Amino acid sequence: MAFAIEVPHYSTDIAAAWQVMRRLLRYTPTVWYYPDEKKWHAVFTIRYEINGTWYSYGTVIRTSDTEAHAICLAALALVDGIEERGEHFPTP
């Protein structure tokens, strides 16, 4: 028996994309719009803590015509980068 599960449209629905942002808050997400380029930019910073001091070892930036799509592109690149380093993506 198969079950159908409704998956949010993360890359086209901004409310769903913000769910992604909230899930990735530990990576200091930011999103901004450049009116001259007419593009959205989403940024995640990969950080780690040693003895109470935070360090950054990478930033993921992705650009798209829509805010939701930029967020999803950056989130996918972030997770891919974490897994590529042999680390496990943290679960809530």
Instruction: Give the domain ranges of the chain.
Output: 14-84
pTM equals: 0.79
User: Residue 85: pLDDT band by 50, 70, 90 thresholds?
Assistant: low
Position 88 scores a pLDDT of: 60
DSSP state of 66: S
DSSP state of 88: P
pLDDT digits (tens, 9 = 90+) for 11-54: 999 999 999 999 888 888 899 999 999 999 999 987 777 888 88
